[in-house]
């Protein structure tokens, strides 16, 4: 089985030859890992340096794939600020994290009327994906991270807090934002399919560790119908969709399955027990993740990482439907040696024939 | 309408996040001669406390708490001049922010809204605040409480840096330190040398009140 077959088989809920290993690795972490592994590092600013580095890492470590970042990206305003192509402005983080939203262009229904969000897309948005396909060849799955309508909506209206207040006070605006951003995501799914992508990761955190950010009633009103459209668009092109949200997602899991998501990520270990997830959900949705990147991969030892991967595989992998992945991403505070230990453990314990 | 009914309606209005009705009822109560402190404590804070219990039980979520906190704050703004005129002091002076390297704001913002709504004077420094900025704000504002939030395990060591900064500046004995955020536990809070810990925004208000009590006893 090649990596693409391995990942797709797991996403179908079936058993591949071994547990697939994928992750989202941000640019500073790619550089950290490349330095540790003595891989050549492209010059800073070189076009597609991130994709080249990611592909080198996949090949060097024997990963089954890597998530390609959101294709829309940011444009620099000045040394400290960036903007997205829809008019939202952000402070850049000195720590390499996601930029901090400062303001968005949509404050009322009037602002969104005539707001042609999909016209901001360009065929060049998928150049990085095409390059990755060329570098890795057809035996690897190309997995694309797309921000969900929830995340795109709060970016457009200036902040998550504003959007959550609008959930109660201005339902029409919430629906108008969801409509526009769903049109955008469906267009991105079409673009991704055209560029040869194999898997979509629809991402937008909607839960904290104790509870979801909002009620199941609000999920069903403001998100579910739109998520159904996106999943249907992806499935029409044969692309499986993984839903990503940190936090305690238990109250939403049955709905995510009914919507038709093929996988759920990251099954955050602080609030979702992997054994319970395997028992209650494992035969209906592929579980992707659960290796703790908040404490273990940052502060643990390589032996502790090895043990955690061994235990997680023993629980989550039987009969298939599990992809080894961190509990969010490989971020700059993850020790490179620990990520390498995680991958090596996945390869050691993930063989279904042994 | 009886005094009790008016206060019950104010509390229900806060719980429902109905800022227009809460503001109207508070204006009426003031016009009828009710004391600002009674309206605050037996109407507004009582409503927010009931909602807090539902939030803690997982029966309501952030949207409901946010709109209730907005209603509470709109009403408190109306009461402030009356509280001042009546000689009712703020319950305590709080400097608050998210630690350096951490830009998560929503939990901290909720704590700010609820502390203000409960009669605390709050100086919100924002997110990604350095130890030097926290220390300067504690000194400049004469803070009773320094409240800090972190959402990442990797940023929790900043709590120690700030507490060390308070020590060096000779301010540690003057201010109570309250910490919170997803990766923070009571054990970690104690290890870091914090005086208080809160699991969520509702608990933060109760913990702030406890710390003020402890400070006054001292």
Give the pLDDT confidence of B173-192 residue by residue, as tens digits.
Answer: 999 999 998 878 888 888 88
CB contact set of B80 (below 8 Å; sequence gap of 6+): none
Question: DSSP 3-state assignment of A98?
Answer: coil
A283 pLDDT higher than 90: yes
- C-alpha to C-alpha distance for B59 and A33, rounded to whole angstroms: 44
Look over chain B and give the mean of its residue pLDDT values, rounded to a whole number.
90
Give tens-digit pLDDT for A111-133. 998 888 888 898 889 998 888 99
**Candidates B61, B101, B153; nearest CB to A295:** B153
- C-alpha to C-alpha distance for A279 and A262, rounded to whole angstroms: 17
The residue of B62, B72, B124 whose CB has the most chain A CBs within 10 angstroms, and thus the best one to mutate to test that interface, is B62
B104 pLDDT higher than 80: no
Task: Say what the pLDDT of residue A177 is.
Answer: 97
What number of C-beta contacts closer than 8 Å exist between A and B? 58
Lowest mean pLDDT among A41-45, A205-209, A290-294: A41-45
Q: How confident is the model at residue B197 (pLDDT cuts 50, 70, 90)?
A: very high
Task: Say what the pLDDT of residue A42 is.
Answer: 83
The CATH number that domain B93-217 falls under is 3.40.50.280
Pick the more confident residue, A212 or A27. Answer: A212
Contact predicate A159/A228, CB 8 Å = no
Q: How confident is the model at residue A317 (pLDDT cuts 50, 70, 90)?
A: very high
Q: How confident is the model at residue B3 (pLDDT cuts 50, 70, 90)?
A: confident
- C-alpha to C-alpha distance for A181 and A157, rounded to whole angstroms: 12
Q: In the CATH scheme, what architecture does the domain B3-85 have?
A: Orthogonal Bundle (1.10)
- C-alpha to C-alpha distance for B207 and B216, rounded to whole angstroms: 14
Q: How confident is the model at residue A70 (pLDDT cuts 50, 70, 90)?
A: confident
Q: How confident is the model at residue B103 (pLDDT cuts 50, 70, 90)?
A: confident
Contact predicate B23/B14, CB 8 Å = no
The pLDDT of A178-187, averaged and rounded, is 96
The pLDDT of A231-252, averaged and rounded, is 97
Q: Is B140 exposed, middle or buried (0-12, 13-18, 19+ CB in 10 A)?
A: exposed
Contact residues of B toward A, CB < 8 A: 17, 58, 60-64, 66-67, 70, 101, 103, 105-106, 109, 127-128, 152-154, 182-183, 199-200
Question: DSSP 3-state assignment of B92?
Answer: coil
Predicted-complex ipTM score: 0.91
Using a CB-CB cut-off of 8 Å, the residues of chain B touching A165 are 63, 66-67, 70
Task: Say what the pLDDT of residue A94 is.
Answer: 66
Q: Is B69 exposed, middle or buried (0-12, 13-18, 19+ CB in 10 A)?
A: buried
**d(CA A136, nearest CA chain B) in Å:** 33
Provide Rg for chain B, Cα atoms: 18
Kindly report, as residue ranges, where domains of CATH 1.10.1240.10 are found in chain B: 3-85
Q: How confident is the model at residue A38 (pLDDT cuts 50, 70, 90)?
A: very high
Using a CB-CB cut-off of 8 Å, the residues of chain B touching A295 are 153, 183
In this structure, the dihedral spanned by the alpha carbons of residues A33, A38, A39 and A43, taken in order and rounded to 10 degrees, is 90
- C-alpha to C-alpha distance for A353 and A64, rounded to whole angstroms: 18
Question: DSSP 3-state assignment of A249?
Answer: coil
Task: Say what the pLDDT of residue A268 is.
Answer: 96
Q: Does A218 touch chain B (CB under 8 A)?
A: yes
Q: How confident is the model at residue B1 (pLDDT cuts 50, 70, 90)?
A: low
The pLDDT of A48-73, averaged and rounded, is 90
A97 pLDDT higher than 80: no
Task: Say what the pLDDT of residue A95 is.
Answer: 63
Locus of tokens 């809920």: A13
Phi, psi (5° rounding) for residue B214? -65, -35
Enter the pTM of the model: 0.91
- C-alpha to C-alpha distance for B83 and A130, rounded to whole angstroms: 65
Q: Is B210 exposed, middle or buried (0-12, 13-18, 19+ CB in 10 A)?
A: middle
Kindly report, as residue ranges, where domains of CATH 3.40.50.280 are found in chain B: 93-217
Domains and CATH numbers, chain A: 3-71+108-349 (3.20.20.210)
Task: Say what the pLDDT of residue B88 is.
Answer: 81
B153 pLDDT higher than 80: no
Q: What percentage of chain B reaches a pLDDT higher than 70?
A: 99
**Candidates B67, B101, B183; nearest CB to A95:** B101
- Tell me the HSE value of B104 on the side-chain side, using a 13 A CA sphere: 19
Q: Is A314 exposed, middle or buried (0-12, 13-18, 19+ CB in 10 A)?
A: exposed
Task: Say what the pLDDT of residue A80 is.
Answer: 87
| The two structure tokens encoding residue B122 | 């709050």
CB contact set of A15 (below 8 Å; sequence gap of 6+): A9, A319, A320, A321, A352
> Is there a contact between A165 and B70 if contact means CB atoms under 8 Å apart?
yes
* Strand residue runs (E) in chain A: 22-23, 65-68, 75-76, 81-83, 89-91, 100-103, 143-147, 199-203, 241-244, 263-265, 286-288, 322-323
Q: How confident is the model at residue B119 (pLDDT cuts 50, 70, 90)?
A: confident
């Amino acid at each position: 089985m090649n990596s693409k077959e391995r990942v797709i088989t797991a996403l179908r809920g079936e058993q591949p030859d071994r547990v697939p290993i994928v992750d989202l690795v941000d640019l500073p972490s790619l550089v950290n890992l490349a330095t540790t592994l003595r891989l050549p590092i492209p010059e800073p600013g070189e076009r597609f340096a991130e994709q080249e580095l990611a592909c080198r890492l996949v090949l060097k470590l024997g990963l089954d794939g890597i998530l390609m970042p959101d294709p829309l990206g940011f444009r620099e305003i000045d040394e400290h600020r960036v903007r997205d192509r829809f008019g939202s402005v952000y402070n850049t983080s000195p720590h390499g994290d996601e930029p901090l939203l400062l303001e968005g262009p949509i404050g009322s229904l009037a602002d969104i009327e005539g707001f042609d969000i999909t016209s901001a897309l360009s065929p060049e948005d998928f150049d990085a994906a095409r390059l990755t396909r060329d570098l890795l060849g057809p035996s690897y799955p190309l997995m694309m991270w797309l921000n969900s309508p929830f995340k795109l909506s709060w970016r457009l209206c200036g902040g998550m807090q504003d959007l959550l207040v609008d959930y109660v006070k201005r339902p029409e605006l919430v629906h108008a934002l969801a409509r526009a951003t769903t049109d955008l995501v469906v267009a991105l799914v079409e673009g991704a399919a055209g560029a040869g992508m194999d898997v979509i990761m629809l991402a937008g955190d909607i839960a904290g560790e104790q509870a979801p950010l909002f009620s199941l009633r609000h999920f069903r009103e403001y998100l579910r119908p739109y998520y159904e459209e996106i999943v249907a668009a992806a499935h029409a092109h044969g692309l499986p969709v993984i839903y990503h949200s940190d936090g305690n997602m238990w109250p939403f899991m049955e709905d995510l399955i009914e919507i038709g998501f093929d996988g759920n990520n990251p099954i955050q270990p602080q609030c979702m027990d992997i054994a319970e997830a395997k028992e209650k959900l494992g035969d209906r949705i592929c579980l992707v993740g659960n290796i703790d990147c908040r404490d273990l991969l940052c502060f643990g030892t390589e032996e502790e990482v090895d043990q955690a991967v061994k235990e997680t595989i023993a629980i989550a992998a039987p009969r298939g439907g599990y992809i080894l992945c961190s509990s969010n991403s490989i971020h700059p505070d993850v020790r490179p040696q620990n990520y390498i230990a995680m991958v090596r453990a996945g390869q050691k314990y993930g063989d279904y024939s042994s | 309408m009886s005094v009790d009914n008016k206060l019950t309606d104010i509390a229900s209005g806060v719980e429902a996040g109905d800022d227009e009705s809460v503001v109207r009822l508070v204006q009426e109560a003031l016009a009828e001669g009710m004391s600002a402190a009674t309206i605050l404590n037996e109407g507004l804070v009582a409503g927010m406390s009931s909602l807090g219990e539902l939030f803690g039980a997982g029966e309501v979520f952030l949207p409901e708490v946010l709109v209730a906190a907005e209603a509470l704050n709109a009403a408190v703004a109306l009461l402030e001049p009356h509280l001042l005129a009546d000689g009712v002091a703020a319950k305590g002076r709080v400097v608050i922010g998210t630690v350096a390297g951490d830009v998560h704001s929503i939990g901290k913002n909720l704590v700010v809204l609820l502390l203000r709504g409960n009669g605390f004077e709050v100086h919100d420094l924002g997110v990604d605040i350095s130890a030097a900025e926290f220390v300067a704000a504690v000194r400049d504002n004469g803070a009773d409480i320094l409240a800090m939030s972190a959402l990442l395990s990797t940023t929790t060591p900043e709590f120690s840096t700030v507490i060390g900064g308070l020590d060096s500046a000779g301010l540690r004995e003057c201010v109570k330190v309250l910490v919170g955020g997803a990766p923070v536990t009571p054990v970690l809070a104690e290890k870091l040398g914090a005086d208080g810990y809160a699991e969520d925004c509702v608990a933060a208000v109760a913990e702030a009140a406890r710390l003020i009590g402890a400070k006054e006893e001292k």
